[in-house]
Amino acid sequence: MNYSKALNNPIFKIIAQASQEINVESYVIGGFVRDFLLKRDFKKDIDIVAIGSGIDLALKVSALLPNKPKVQVFKNYGTAMLRYKEIDVEFVGARKESYSENSRNPIVENGTLEDDQNRRDFTINALAFSLNENSYGNLLDPFNGKNDLENKILKTPLNPDITYSDDPLRMMRAIRFATQLNFIIEKESLDAITRNANRLKIISGERVVEELNKILETPRPSVGFLLLYKTGLLEIILPELTALNSVEEIEGHTHKNNFYHTLEVVDNISLNTEDVWLRWAALLHDIGKAPTKKFNKKQGWTFHGHEFLGGKMVKRIFTRLHMPLNNKMKFVAKMVMLSSRPIVLSEDIVTDSAVRRLVFDAGEDVDDLMTLCEADITTKNPTKFKKYHSNFDVVRAKIIEVEERDKVRNFQPPISGEEIMELFSLKPSREIGVLKEAVKEAILEGEIPNDYQAAFEFVLKRAEKMGLIKN
């Protein structure tokens, strides 16, 4: 079957011309072909395989393009890349690969198109369109990948045990594709992932997290995380999460399964935000519950301090997985640490001072925190569900009211430490900190408004009590 209509972008004709001029065959392969056949949006990257030198082909294509784009050459990998009108085009020579046990970096030899298709991770990614003059637009499908696309099945071109053992990252990719595309992983392939799960340990944290992020960015991340759990991969990546999958009963008291609850929360929040870091916060919001779980005869099961401990655990997880230890990590840790505050607020009379403290502690992230807490409501009781969300509406309204009046989001004290030092002829000392803290507490408790004059008068009175004003 011919798919010339898929190749209407001018770049394909130019690659075809360059191929002819240097006498190599070339093919579009992988994601572009798969997504065209699935009628998915074009992701603005194209993989070209050349039967010969991919680098030479890239250089020739650049020479034929009007603006002569720069070619990035990666000699170690035998690949090259150029950008054409916001499209990244990567060129590689057809190759066959062999692997050593302790590395996913293959030993590479020149090969045929068939060799190159054999080394692909899945049949749906081994599909290729010809860019050659006598077969332009023809589909090359040696593993019936088109049928697998139509039947929504993920399978490997060759023996799955070899495919996954050679490059264990493919196990993560299988689960990611299954989640993104709503495909089923063929049973033989799924069983091979379970058998080879421990091989994932040779993969760097960065590469694993890249796949986790793509799973988290899907409309229903729980699909991927359940597959990760069932295959044993999640225990290797996030044992803190799998530790939540236990329910104990003592004297008739049980507690909810916090693992499956967490997956519901992640799906809930995915309906309301595309922010992957807020989705990470949802994923990790209860990780402190396993290590803080205790049974008390009067109260039943308790998880006291789980938010605080969970917030501390975030940094350890990010460090272990080589994730960014910057504001993204701090944001996730803060969300986890504050994750129960709005829920507690919504269960009681919503006081101004409690809301002020919430806004002060959450700062610019208070709206994200409310989104997380609303996602945390997974009760199947419609009356309770409605009541919780109604109470959250009250908290949100109170946040707006308090913030408009008291301006405590990203709080800056209305009177500075320098002014206090000048006012009482003090050098930097403990007293300055005590006075600044007293001003902050007075504002948060509603004793004084958040303005300069009120703070100035408050400082004078407090300083007099501390003996800082000499008569």
122 and 233 co-located in one domain: no
As to burial, measured by CB atoms within 10 angstroms (0-12 exposed, 13-18 middle, 19+ buried), residue 357 is middle
pLDDT digits (tens, 9 = 90+) for 382-397: 888 888 888 888 888 8
185 and 106 co-located in one domain: no
SS3 call for 49: strand
Cβ(6)–Cβ(129) below 8 Å: yes
55 and 30 co-located in one domain: yes
Per-residue tokens: 171: 């196990």
What CA–CA distance (Å, rounded) separates 93 from 105? 16
Lowest-pLDDT range of 152-156, 408-412, 451-455: 408-412
99 and 191 co-located in one domain: no
Cβ(214)–Cβ(176) below 8 Å: yes
pLDDT digits (tens, 9 = 90+) for 158-194: 999 999 998 999 999 999 999 999 999 999 999 999 9
136 and 13 co-located in one domain: yes
Q: How many domains does the chain have?
A: 3
215 and 83 co-located in one domain: no
Q: Widest CA span of the chain, in angstroms?
A: 102
SS3 call for 43: coil
13 and 87 co-located in one domain: yes
> Which residue shows structure tokens 């809301």?
355
140 and 195 co-located in one domain: no
Does residue 322 form part of some domain?
no
Res 387: pLDDT: 85
CATH code of 65's domain:
3.30.460.10
Q: Which domain holds residue 458?
A: 417-465
Res 251: pLDDT: 47
pTM for this model (two decimals)? 0.86
Cβ(219)–Cβ(270) below 8 Å: yes
Looking at the predicted structure, is the pLDDT value of residue 344 above 80?
A: no
142 and 94 co-located in one domain: yes
